[in-house]
Amino acid sequence: MAAAVLKLAIIADCVVLVLLSMGPVAMADIQDDCREICRPKCDDFTTRVCNTVIDIAPILRTLDFFFTTCKVRVSAQCTNLCINICSLNTLTPSAPTPAPAGAAPPPCKA
User: Is residue 108 situated within a structural domain?
Assistant: no
Indicate the pTM of the whole model.
0.54
Q: What is the pLDDT of residues 17-33, one digit of tens each?
A: 555 555 555 556 788 88
* Domain, as residue range, for 80: 37-87
Q: What is the pLDDT of residues 68-86, one digit of tens each?
A: 999 999 999 999 999 999 8
Its sign, for the CA torsion 38, 44, 49, 54, is positive
User: Is residue 56 situated within a structural domain?
Assistant: yes
User: Is residue 64 situated within a structural domain?
Assistant: yes
User: Is residue 72 situated within a structural domain?
Assistant: yes
Number of folded domains in the chain? 1
